[in-house]
Structure 1
Amino acid sequence: MKNKNRFSRRLFIKSSTVAGIGLGVYGNAFSLSLKVASDYSQGKRVGIIGLDTSHSIAFTKVLNTHKEDSQYLGYHVVAAYPYGSKDIKSSMDRIPGYTEEIQKLGVDIVNSIGDLLQKVDVVLLETNDGKIHLEQAMEVFKARKRMFIDKPMTASLSDAKAIFEASQKFKIPVFSSSSLRYITGIEKIDKSTVIGASTFSPAELEPSHPDLFWYGIHGVETLFTVMGTGCESVSRVSTKDTDVVTGIWEDGRIGTFRGTRTGIHDYGGTVFTKTENVVLGPYAGYEPLLLEIVKYFETGIVPVQPEETLEILAFMEAADISKKQGGKSVSIKELMDKK
């Protein structure tokens, strides 16, 4: 409860109306969205924004293959808007091939987000470029459609705050998550017993994004999934091939993330609990995340609270600052309180 109250005070201080929003008020807002569910279209047509990532193809294959599977509640992809990064070459180069591939799966290609929103009930915002997520998300909010935002949620903490503010304004709950939140082994952990954790994932860099936002997010998301919110400070040791980021939680627990750019491309970690040490892995694929997404599409209940997502982004942003300052400890509170 201490953690929740602490971060409730920190979130969204841009205006007096928004300043008080925290876990409790978010819960009320999302309950409100459920209360007016009769006004919300319960169709099963999914639209994709962004064909510059392999996630778009993978998600479509799972959903459309399992259209008759009761677990996926009938949600299936019917239309996609290809764009997409405009200045990240590795992403832009994928668009033609992924566009052709998704058409073979029976998905219509449209010329704008506006056109997409006319054809679908819910949206997967898959654009690989977090810099344009706020702009794209605003179109979806204005159309009052539920939306999942894939990693990286944004390319800055400030943009993520703006997205959650818009979520409140339009009364449309939204969430973002890496599929590594559901890595094998994590479901066995009683999180109330966790005394520390060490996770790892690849952490390739993209100059247009803060270092860990681009790929390190996967291992950081795993870390917060088991540790929960309440990280107070972050320090980072960085070399050409490896990052080690250490977070100190307000109750004295320590969590570390190791990001790799050489060696085996793998994900995992160790969770230290009061009774045992639990090894995480292997990667469980996209299906566990997609099951949570379709539940959210159906109910409007988000599986990841906004303050946890914001703290994850603050952790990664603080890691960048620490790197620039030669590994000095950086306060997350200062970042969360920054306008």
Structure 2
Amino acid sequence: MPAIPSLGNLRGRNNRRHQHPAPTEEQAHVVDCGVYVDGLRLPGQWSPVDAITEARRRRDGFVWIGLYEPGEEQLQGIAEVFGLHELAVEDAVTAHQRPKLDRYDETLFMVLKTVRYIAHESPTTANEIVETGEIMAFLGKQFIVTVRHGKHSGLQSLREELEGQPDRLQIGPAAVLHGIADRIVDSYLAVSEAFEGDIDVIEASVFAPRSPIGAEQMYLMKREILELRRAVMPLAVPLRRLAEGYTPLVPEQVRSYFRDVDDHLTTVSERVASYDELLTTLVDATLAKISLQQNTDMRKITAWAAIIAVPTMGVGVYGMNFDYMPELHWRFGYPLVMCVIVTACFILYRIFRKNRWL
């Protein structure tokens, strides 16, 4: 059996594009169904039953069926053909699963979370930054069935790249599973790099004077990084199992490449963990900044209230209807009182200004 080519050779090749008739309404959930023998795709349009029959007849072939958000009845028909476990089928229909790897008899069931970075003008005004989806993969000796949830998680380009590398597909369906995992982890790297730019903008805004950013936007960023973390962190254990020989369905030459994917995932995990810690610090800094601004506002209000209390008290005293008041009948009494009030207010203003209350 030939050695699996390097990942670098997989990218950038001219790929062949297969044209297929439009699926019938009953088969609309089947995105593509191909039979591969010696790494080459057999021509023609195949139904799932005919495909697995042909692969078993050839012995050295396998089937790759791609499904997009199938219903329970639709997936149940595929499950009967390939002997998929009912618990795994239920998870594949329901979706919203954590990344995991389960073994059912001679079949592996793997769940991977897909992520997509949503472009926006500024992270300080965005409502959503990360969109997630799911890819479930059923791996058998002569088949791999992929179930996608989410519009951004298409595998057509990956299928074309793999079909441009027959020596890679000659390994079997485990090479397809590796290609899917590698593609998804690469998307994690791209999203994490884009997220880093957003965090730099947020960090600069938090510590900028009179920045408009508030706690709500910081919590949004925190929520988005947690969504990315839920996709990345749980995948480490399944990848490590595949790299360590968890099942004979993954040959040794593919395990070494799963180790490479696991290394890339470790890099992403470290980035996401650091982003999470930094955002926690920025949230605390934002709350402290808001609290400081509130204290500053309260000091200003208190200072002005103290200044206004002086004329209020003076006017209140001289507004009383008494005959015997200081300088009440003196010609210059009113101007003198006004001068005293203005002077007292000015002195208080200078004191508060010196203490930076105003």
TM-score by length of 1: 0.24
Give the number of the structure with larger relative contact order, counting CA–CA contacts within 8 Å between residues 6 or more apart.
Answer: 1
Q: Work out which of the two has the higher radius of gyration on C-alpha atoms and give 1 or 2.
A: 2
* Higher helix content, 1 or 2: 2
